[in-house]
Structure 1
């Protein structure tokens, strides 16, 4: 497949986004590494290309469009605002020790749409736009809600430090599971002997002492009751057609009242989608859906996947990222939701009608 063919599909998608009221923007290809590292921590290095510029310092090849679009909007954008874009992003692919038969591209084209608005229908608007545009491809639509999961974690009868640790790793399911197992057991006492060697390393003495104090305080924590672990696992395991998932979530909200608001918001979003002519029975709600995406999503998430192509990434993904907009806004905040489509995969499926 040639780049010209991918670009043609990308331009078709871009035209649809412009028709939906979006202004086309073109963020920089090289982004300051400091901003991305502050947002995602050192883990971003495992999937981004990092290089050194003699004047700008450490920079990254654009791993995603959302961060630069949010920065641009927060500097001079009015609200509400809709933006669209088309261009390459660059991601390292963790292939393990064996080279796969069909490796994913490290550089690929993205077409995207971002909406900044305080409109209660924004989630439904963006999902419906992608659903309508991709309808000719017969993709499987899935959605989730990260706020639902985070509200459940915040409801756990744990110390603030333990809840913060779980929330920090909620996008890393294996680490999260290990932490949850540790917090459910009896903590082992920690003994830190006074070192006789000179202090050395990248972390300062005060920072290390704070870490030691936290670990010692953690040893006095009571284990998380098994019933709360079971409730959380039931929540993470919900995966059903959206109306059935909503029914299961409402039942679970009787045991975890803190998720009630997020559950009812899901109900409203499904009603709004139905009002736009979308069959919500055809949407899969997977409670753990957003846990395998970039860490900035904190509300609704969605994806459109090609059936019969298990080795492909999603053709389209997106979601709500209010917290990211607040962080990058440096005191300003506006709700934001958006998504991207991979024109290359759309072309391989035969293109749009």
Structure 2
């Protein structure tokens, strides 16, 4: 290690110690979840964008593992280990490495191994208050590290779900729009295709398998697909499981028989996803779109507005903040508020901190009941670079 890299490492460690101390004073218990995690947990929950960048391997015992690509899922698993009945309110903080492949090559702001310092809040009944608590703590943390000039960016997954649920569309397309929401280019292509009543014609092999499994259960479809792969000597490679392959074929087969999406519905969704403005102005625009379309999403909008009220009451200046309906489409376990803190000179893909609400994650990990949960993570290398503590 060179003298320069040693100095940068010590600066990073010093910053992390201060952040963890701040979290501790706020009532968050320090935890250190394992770096090696069961791959299936992550591959099922984090979504395709991060799944394709995860380091996955099989150990000598045949167990598929991964280097954790984030710390929210490991901390959630730790919560369930401590509280199997998931009925206890808990607050944890952490600091440690995470790992993701960088398709454009590693850099100072996008390293393959990076550190996250963050907090997770489980079981708090007042969701808006918990959202505000976590967001305020993230703001206080970056400010305590010396970041004074920053911008807050907000999104809300629950608001999009409320819009889609209020629309008069076939249930199949409602579910598909929810599913594809996490991949914006694919989502917009799907929306355009549905509005034009276009169907993707599968190739001969997919068409034949689709006809065979159409109307079958998931288990029956898996048996048919497995038999086909075995008969043709086709191995399952990559990150897709047999279950995922069968589910996708069932999905493609069902698409061929579904009704078209009304064009006016596609237009409403596009108008909604074009909203990007100051928080209050954005809420007003979304309300106008909903009322103009005869949709009732007042409850979801009231939740968003209350959160902004609480932030302003706590002294957060929202004059430079942005609410973007497109934002937050990366980690698929999010279910409500999403936010990030952006520093000058760093673009939207390089936030110094971010987080959000993930109420469905704990049940997906095995919790016997729903657990409201919200958290945030600080990218400590980026924060250090933003305040001039390390080369950018």
User: TM over 0.5, yes or no?
Assistant: yes
Structure 1 residues 188, 38: closer, same or farther in 2, change over 3 A? closer
Question: 2:341 — aligned with what?
Answer: 304
Q: 1:273-311: per-residue Cα shift (whole Å, max 9, x none)? A: 1111112223211111111x2111110000011122238
Question: 1:58 — aligned with what?
Answer: 64
Say whether the 8 Å CA contact 1:147–1:298 is kept in structure 2: yes
Question: 1:288 — aligned with what?
Answer: 326
Question: 1:91 — aligned with what?
Answer: 100
Match of 1:104 among 88, 105, 110: 110
Say whether the 8 Å CA contact 1:190–1:216 is kept in structure 2: no
Map 1:140-155; keep pairs closer than 5 Å.
140-155=151-166
Q: CA separation in 2, counterparts of 1:340 and 1:189?
A: 40
Structure 1 residues 126, 172: closer, same or farther in 2, change over 3 A? same
Q: CA separation in 2, counterparts of 1:160 and 1:332?
A: 26
Post-superposition offset of 1:153: 2.5
2:298 maps to 1:260: yes
Map 1:37-48; keep pairs closer than 5 Å.
37-40=43-46, 44-48=50-54
Post-superposition offset of 1:209: 8.9
Residue 65 of structure 2 aligns to a residue whose secondary structure is strand
Post-superposition offset of 1:222: 3.2
Q: 1:249-294: per-residue Cα shift (whole Å, max 9, x none)? A: 2212312634322111011111111111112223211111111x21
Question: 1:125 — aligned with what?
Answer: 133
Structure 1 residues 216, 187: closer, same or farther in 2, change over 3 A? farther
TM-score, normalised to structure 1, is 0.88
Post-superposition offset of 1:38: 2.5
2:116 maps to 1:79: no
Question: 1:241 — aligned with what?
Answer: 278
Q: CA separation in 2, counterparts of 1:166 and 1:311?
A: 24
Match of 1:333 among 346, 370, 387: 370
Q: CA separation in 2, counterparts of 1:67 and 1:122?
A: 19
Q: CA separation in 2, counterparts of 1:312 and 1:218?
A: 33
Q: CA separation in 1, counterparts of 2:61 and 2:177?
A: 38
Gap runs ≥5 in structure 1: none
Post-superposition offset of 1:79: 2.7
Post-superposition offset of 1:227: 1.7
Residue 138 of structure 2 aligns to a residue whose secondary structure is helix
Gap runs ≥5 in structure 2: 212-224, 231-235
Question: 2:315 — aligned with what?
Answer: 277
Post-superposition offset of 1:247: 1.3
Worse-matched range after superposition: 107-116 or 175-184: 175-184
Post-superposition offset of 1:346: 1.8
Q: CA separation in 1, counterparts of 2:28 and 2:208?
A: 60
Question: 1:179 — aligned with what?
Answer: 190
Worse-matched range after superposition: 316-325 or 274-283: 274-283
Structure 1 residues 281, 329: closer, same or farther in 2, change over 3 A? farther
Residue 281 of structure 1 aligns to a residue whose secondary structure is coil
Say whether the 8 Å CA contact 2:132–2:311 is kept in structure 1: yes
Query: What do you get for the CA RMSD once the two structures are aligned?
Result: 3.0
Q: CA separation in 2, counterparts of 1:115 and 1:101?
A: 31
Residue 297 of structure 2 aligns to a residue whose secondary structure is helix
Residue 3 of structure 1 aligns to a residue whose secondary structure is helix
Q: CA separation in 2, counterparts of 1:19 and 1:53?
A: 40
